Structure 1
Amino acid sequence: MIKKSVLIVAAALTFFIGCKKDGAGVAPQQKDSTAFGAYEERFLDGLWKINPDLATQVGYHKYDSILIIPNADSRQKQLTFTRKTLDSLGNFDLNSLTDNGKIDYHLMENQMQYTQWGLQQEKAYEWDPSAYNVIGTFAFILNEKYEPLDKRLRNFYMKMLNIPVYYKEAEKQLKNPVAELTALAIDQHTGGVSVFESDFADSLKKTTIPQPEKQKMLDRAKLSADAIKGYAAWLKGMKNDHPRSFRLGKELYQDKFKYEVQSASTPQQIYNAAIERKKYLHKEMAKYSKQLWPKYFGKAAMPTDTLELIGKMIDTLSAKHVQPDEFQSAISAQIPKLTAFVKSKDLLYIDPSKPLVVRKEPAYMAGVAGASVTSPGPYDKTGNTYFNVGSLSGWPAAKAESYLREYNQYILQILCIHEAIPGHYTQLVYANKSPSLIKSILGNGAMIEGWAVYTEQMMLENGYGNNEPEMWLMWYKWNLRSVCNTIVDYSVHTGTMTKEQVVKMLTHEAFQQQAEADNKWKRVSVTSVQLTSYYSGYKEIIDLREAYKKKVGDKLFKLKDFNEKFLGYGSAPVKYISELMLKKK
C-alpha cells in the first residue's frame, strides 16, 4: 500500500536502481548534463528544508529535530518552492540531457505540478484528518539505528516541541472532513500513541542521558501523547453534519491519476482494459477448474454455471491454510524458498548481503493494508528492509478463518512473491544502489506495484509451483484481484458504486472471502487512485516485455537481461522506460 501526501511520494518509501549515464556527447550536452546534476542537488536541499519528515524517512537527518506546522504559511512556502522549481527547470533543454537526466526532469516536473494541484485543487488538508499524523516519523527516529540512540532521542525530544501546536492547527484546517478518513485517523492515532507513552521511555532507559534531562524528555513526551489523544478525542466529538463524500469525483480523479500513475493511458482506458482482462481470467479459471474437478469431486455433477464452478473449486482449495498464530512464521519460511528458486532459474541477481526482516505490522501503520514492505532510504543504505505483516491476534474465529482462507497456502506464496522475492523487496535492494536520488525519492507507484504483480506471473511462467493447475488457478484469482482493484477504484470514485455492489462483485466474480471484500471497501473509502496502480503498472510492463522481445528477437531475448535492464532505469513511469528500451539505436 502506498499512500501519497502533498510532497511525500510514499509513506512506505520505495527505491530503485538508476540507469547508467550516457558516455558520449557533444560538449554543450555534457556541460548541460553536469549543470543539471548540480541543479538536482540544490532541488533536494530545498525540498528537505520544507519537508523535514520526508528527509528523515529517506535517510537525510540534518532536519530530524524540526516539525513543520501545517498551516497556510507552510503551504505557501511549498507553493513558492514549486513555482521556482518549475521556472528554473525551464532553463534546461530536455533534449540535451542524458537518458537518466531526462527521466529525473520528468519526475521533478510532475511532482511539482502534483504538489500545486494538491494544494490548490484537491485540498485534502481540509477534509482528510489522517493527513495530519506525526507518529510515523517519530517511530522511524526511534526504531532505525542510523545514529547513536542518545542523538536520535535528543532529536526526538526537540521535534516533539511543536506537536501540541501541530494538532491544534490541524483542527483549524479541517472543514467537514470525510467520515471514513476521520475514523481512520482516530484508529491510527489511538493505536500509535504508544510510541510516546511507552516506547520512548523504554528507549531512554538504554541511554546514559542524565536523569534530569531524561525527566524533561519524559515530560514533553507526555504532553505529546496528550496532544495526540486529544486530537483523536476531538475528531470523535466534532460536529460534522455535512461531511465531504469520500468519493473523489471524476475530474479530481482524472487529474490525480495523471500525476500519480503517470500512465501512457487514461483512467477510462485502463478501466476498459481491466474489464477485458476480467473476462479472460474467468475463461482461464474455468478451464483449470474443469481440469481439477474430478481430482477433488470425483464423479459429482459439475456445475453448469461458470462462476459457480470456479467458486466451488477455489473454495475447496482455500481450506488449505495455516493457523492464525502461524501466519507470520509461515511467511518467514517462504523467503529462503523463493530466493533459491530465483537463483536456480537465473531470473535476476539477488544481493545476499541485504537482510529482509519479517515483523509484526507497527500500530501506526495499521488500518489499510495487511502486508507491506518498507525500505531504508537512499541516504541510509545500511538500514533494514522490513516485511510488515498484520497480526490476527484478537480476531474473532470466523473473521480469522475468512482471512486465512483468502490467504491460503497458495495465495500466501504469491503474496510473498509480490511483497518480497522477487517483488518489492528485491526491487528495493536494487533501488538503494541507485546513483539517482531523484528516482529514489520521487519514484512512480505504478511501476513499483506493477513490478510486484509482474513478478508473480514471471515466477509461475518459469515453473514455480511445478506448473500445478491449483497454483495457476489461485494466481489467476490473485491477478483478478489487481484487475478488480482497478474496476472498483474507478467505479467508486468516479461513479456511484456502493459497498453492496463492491462486495457482491468481489465475492461473486472475484471469488474473494467476505473479510477481504469488506477490507477492500474500507480501503477504497480511504484511498483513491492507488488501487489502480497494480494493474496499470503490470499491464504496461507485460506490454513492454513483449515489445522488447520483438525488438531483439526471440533468439536473443533473455529474461534476466530484460528484468535487470528494466530495473536499471530506476523507478520511472513505465512509459518513459518503454521509450528508452524500445528506441532505435
Structure 2
Amino acid sequence: MTFDTPLKIKLKTLTITVAFSVAVGALTACQASNLKTQAPVKAHTANTQAQTDSIADKAFSKFSASFIDQFWQLYPGHAVYAGFYQYDNLLPIPDIKTQKKELAFHQKQLALLTTINPDTLNAKNASDFYILKNQLESEIWSATELKNGQWDPSQYNVAGVFGVILNTPYKPLDERLKTIIERMNHIPAYYQAAQNNLTNPTLTHTLLAVQQSKGTLALFENSIASKIAKSTLPKKDKQLFTQRLNTSSTAIKHYINWLDQKAIALEKSTTAKDFRIGKDLYEKKFKYDIFSSYTAKELFTKALSEKERVHQEMIKIADTLWPKYFKDTKKPANKLTMVKAIIDHISVKHVKRDEFVNSIRRQIPELEAFVLQHDLITMDKDKPLVVRETPEYQRGFAGASINAPGPYDAAANTYYNVTPLDNFNDDEAESYLREYNHWLLQILNIHEAVPGHYTQLVHSNKSKSLIKSIFGNGAMVEGWAVYTERMMLEEGYGDNEPELWLMYYKWNLRVIMNSILDYSIQVNGLTEDKALDMMVNQAFQEPAEAQGKWRRATLSQVQLTSYFTGYSEIYQLREELKKATGDKFNLKDFHDQFLSFGSAPVPIIKKLMFDDYVNSHK
C-alpha cells in the first residue's frame, strides 16, 4: 500500500469515488471480513459497556492511538486524505524496501493486537478491534497473495494528494505550494519504482493508467504551474519549482511512454495476464472487502433471486403505463420486452448535453429541502457540498464521485465530481443522457449527494471512533446510498409517480446486476458480448452505460458487490427494528443512530445499536 492514490470507494458506473479526499486504493473498503469466518462482535451487556475504564479497554485505546500515528507516518498520502497534514511533505517511494517495511509493520501490529481479548472490551472498542484486525489481515493478504502492485499500473499515480494539497486551504497557499515543491523532488524515483514493480501488468489496467497519467501531467503543467506563477513565492522557490517541474514532467512522460509500449506488447501477446483474478482470490478479497454473513457465491445466488423479484415489480408498473404511452399498440407477449419498450420510450426525457453538470447543481437544494421538510435525517448546513467538474486526473473510472474530507478536517468542502460529456460523440452522449434521464438523474443525486454519500460521510466524520471513520467499510457506505434511494421514494419523494418508481427499479436492478456481473466475469469467465447482452436486455441499460460497466468490471474486483450487500443488510435491519418497536419506531431516530457509528460494517452497527434502539423506543 505504498501508492499515493486516494482512499476510494468506487460506486456504480455513473460511479463514485468517495475519498478522504474512501475511499477506496485498497484501503477503503474497510476490509471487514465474513462473519462466518471471523468471530462476531460480542453482544455486550449494559454493565459491560459501562466498563469504559477497564484495563483491556485502556490497553486497546493505547494500541489504536499508537497504530494510527504510525500508520500516518507510513502512509502520509492517506493521512492527507483524512485531513491529517503533519506529514504532508512526504512522498514514499514504492520500492522493495518500502514494501518490506509495510509488511513488517502490519505483521507486528497484528501480533500486538491479538494479545488483547476482544471479549473483555466494551462494545465500541470490540467493534474497533475487529475492524483493525481485518484491516491488518487484509493488508498482509494483499501484499503476499493478491500482489496487485505487480499487475495494476493505475495503482501508481501521485496526482491525488497533490490535488488535495493544492485545493484544500488547511494552511496558507504559499506554504502549501512549498510543500508541493518539496514532494515533487521524489516523483522521478516514485515512477521508476513503479516500473520496477510492474512485472506482469494487465492490458486493461495499463490503458487506464495511461489515461489517468495524462491527467496527472496536466495537473502539474497547468493547475499547479499556474498557481505558482501567480503566487507571492520568492524567485528562488519559483526557480526550484521550474526545475522540479521539468524533472517531474519528464518522469511522468517516461512512465506514459513505458505504459504505451507495454500496452502494444500486451495487445499482441497470447500469454498476457488476464484481468480476472479467479475464484480463490475473489472469495478472499470478498471476505476482506465486504463485511457480510454471505460468501461471494452465496451473495451471487441471492442476487439472481432478487433480480427475478424486481423484474416482477417492473412488469406490474409497465402494465399500468402501457395504455398511457401505447394505447393503440398491442402489448408484447414477452413481459420484459414490454418493460424495455416503456423505458426506451420515456428515456428521451432528459437534460441537454451542455446542461448536464448544471442540472445536477440545481437539484441538490431541492433534495435537501425534501429531507428537512419530512424530518428524515439530521442535516448539517455548515458542511458545504460543492458540485464541480471532475478533475482530469480522476476521470476514466466513474462518471460521478464524491470527494469528502476526512475526520481531521471535517469542516472542509465535500466535492461532488461530475464528468462533463465533452469526450462523447453525439450518439454516445445521447445514449448516456437517456441512461441518466429525467428520473434517473434524480435517483443518482439522491445516491451521491442527499441523503446518500455526502450526508452519510458528514455524519461519519462526527463519529467518536477514529478507527471507524478512517477505515470506512465500503459496503456500508455504498449500501447506505442505495438504501436512501428506496427510502426517499417510500417517504413520498416524486409523489409516487409510476415512471419514477419504474426508473428506480431499473436503477436498483443495476445494483443487483452489479453483483451478478462482477462474480460472473471475475469467477465464471463471462465474456464481453454476453455481459453486454445481460446488461442491456435483462437490466435495461443503455449501450453506453453497459460498455462503461464492462470496463469497470475489468478494472476492479468485488467492489461492485458492495452496493447490494450493504443495501440488503441496512434495509433488513430497519425492518427488524420496525417489527421490534411497532408504532414507536421513528425513522429519523433510526437514521441518526445508524449513522452515528461512522462508516462501520453493518453487522457491527447492528450489534451496537439494536438493543439500545429497541429499549429507547418501547
- TM-score, normalised by the number of residues in structure 2: 0.90
Question: Aligned in 2, Cα 1:546/1:220: closer, same or farther, shift over 3 Å?
Answer: same
Q: Are 2:27 and 2:471, in contact at CA under 8 Å, matched by a contact in 1?
A: no
Q: Which residue number in structure 2 is paired with residue 202 of structure 1? A: 226
Q: 1:227 aligns with which of 239, 251, 258?
A: 251
Output the aligned Cα RMSD. 2.0
Which one-letter code corresponds to 2:108 in the other structure? K
Question: In structure 2, what is the equivalent of residue 10 of structure 1?
Answer: 24
CA deviations on 1:215-261 (whole Å, 9 max, x unpaired) are 11121012112211110110111344332100010000000000001
Pairwise CA distance, 1:583: 4.5
Match among 381, 386, 392 for residue 352 of structure 1? 381
- With 84-93 and 454-463 compared, the bigger mean Cα shift is at 84-93
Alpha-carbon separation, structure 2, partners of 1:27 and 1:354: 34
Select which of 387, 401, 405 maps to 2:430: 401
Percent identity for Structure 1 against Structure 2: 45
Work out the CA distance in 2 between the residues paired with 1:25 and 1:172. 50
Aligned-partner Cα distance in 1 for 2:446–2:237 = 47
Matches of 1:43 and 1:259, distance apart in 2: 19
Q: Distance in 1 between matches of 2:599 and 2:183?
A: 31
Query: Secondary structure of 2:462's partner?
Result: coil
Query: Distance in 1 between the 2:75 and 2:297 partners?
Result: 34
Aligned equivalent of 2:413, options 384, 392, 402: 384
Superposition pairs of residues 369-448 of structure 1, within 5 angstroms: 369-448=398-477
CA contact (8 A) 1:12 1:375 kept: no
Q: After superposing the two structures, state which structure 1 stretch, 165-174 or 21-30, moved more.
A: 21-30
1:570 paired with 2:598, answer yes
The 8 Å contact of residues 13 and 58 in structure 1, kept in 2 or not, is answered as no
Q: 1:31 deviation in Å?
A: 3.4
Q: Does 1:530 align with 2:537?
A: no
Structure 1 match to 2:34: none
| C-alpha displacement of 1:567 | 0.9
Offset of 1:514 from its aligned partner? Answer: 0.3
CA contact (8 A) 1:15 1:430 kept: no
- The answer to whether the Cα contact below 8 Å between 1:15 and 1:439 also exists between their aligned partners in 2 is no
Partner-residue secondary structure (3-state), 2:232? coil
Counterpart CA distance in 2 for 1:25 and 1:244 is 50
**Separation in 2, partners of 1:537, 1:269:** 14
Cα shift readout 1:436-455 (whole Å, capped 9, x = no counterpart): 11111101000000000000
Residue 38 (structure 1) shift: 2.4
Cα separation, 1, equivalents of 2:29 and 2:210: 30
Q: Is the 8 A contact 1:13 1:57 kept in 2?
A: no
Q: What corresponds to 1:109 in structure 2?
A: 133
Is the partner of 2:583 in helix, strand or coil?
Answer: coil
Match of residue 192, structure 1, among 213, 216, 221:
216
SS for the counterpart of 1:209 is: coil
Q: CA deviation at 1:206?
A: 3.4
> Which runs of structure 2 are paired with 1:29-108 in the superposition (5 Å)?
30-108=54-132
CA spacing shift, 1:12–1:457, aligned 2, 3 Å: farther
Deviates more, 1:421-430 or 1:374-383: 374-383
Cα distance change of structure 1 residues 104 and 9 upon mapping to structure 2, 3 Å threshold: farther
- Shift of the 538–551 alpha-carbon distance from structure 1 to 2, 3 Å rule, reads same
The answer (yes or no) to whether the contact 1:281–1:480 under 8 Å persists in 2 is yes
- The whole-number CA distance in structure 1 between the counterparts of 2:87 and 2:433 is 43
Q: Provide closer, same or farther for how the CA distance between residues 140 and 281 of structure 1 changes in structure 2, counting only shifts above 3 A.
A: same
Distance in 1, Cα, partners of 2:605 & 2:71: 25
Equivalent AA in structure 2 for residue 147 of structure 1: K
Q: For structure 1, which segment, 182-191 or 67-76, has the greater mean C-alpha deviation from structure 2 after superposition?
A: 67-76
Cα distance in structure 1, aligned partners of 2:298 and 2:603? 15
The more displaced of 53-62 and 456-465 is 53-62
The separation in 1 between residues aligned to 2:421 and 2:52, in whole angstroms, is 60
Tell whether 2:171 aligns with 1:171.
no
Asked if 1:265 corresponds to 2:272, the answer is no
Q: Is the 8 A contact 1:507 1:514 kept in 2?
A: yes
Distance 2:46 2:545 in 1: 47
CA contact (8 A) 2:154 2:209 kept: yes
Question: For residues 51 and 125 of structure 2, what CA distance do their matches in structure 1 show?
Answer: 16
SS at match of 1:386: strand
- Written as runs of structure 1 = structure 2, the 5 A alignment for 1:272-287 is 272-287=301-316
Structure 2 partner of 1:491: 520
SS at match of 1:205: helix
**Separation of aligned partners in 2, 1:73 and 1:297:** 67
1:520-568: CA deviation from partner (whole Å, max 9, x where unpaired)? 010000111000000111011111111122222x211111111111111
The residue number in structure 2 matching 1:255 is 284
Residue 495 to residue 536, structure 1, CA distance change in 2 (3 Å): same
Q: Is the 8 A contact 2:49 2:123 kept in 1?
A: no
Secondary structure at 1:193's aligned position in 2? helix
The residue identity in structure 1 corresponding to 2:405 is P
Q: Does the 8 A contact of 2:574 with 2:590 survive in 1? A: yes
Q: Counterpart of 2:145 in structure 1: which amino acid? A: Q
Structure 2: distance between partners of 1:62 and 1:180: 36
Q: Partner residue of 2:499? A: 470
Distance 1:583 1:194 in 2: 53
Question: What per-residue deviation string (whole Å, max 9, x for no partner) do you get for residues 266-293 of structure 1?
Answer: 1111111111111011101010001011
Q: Structure 2 unaligned runs (5+)? A: 1-7, 11-16, 31-44
Aligned length: 578
Alignment partners' CA distance in 2, 1:442 and 1:186: 29
Letter matched to residue 419 of structure 1: E
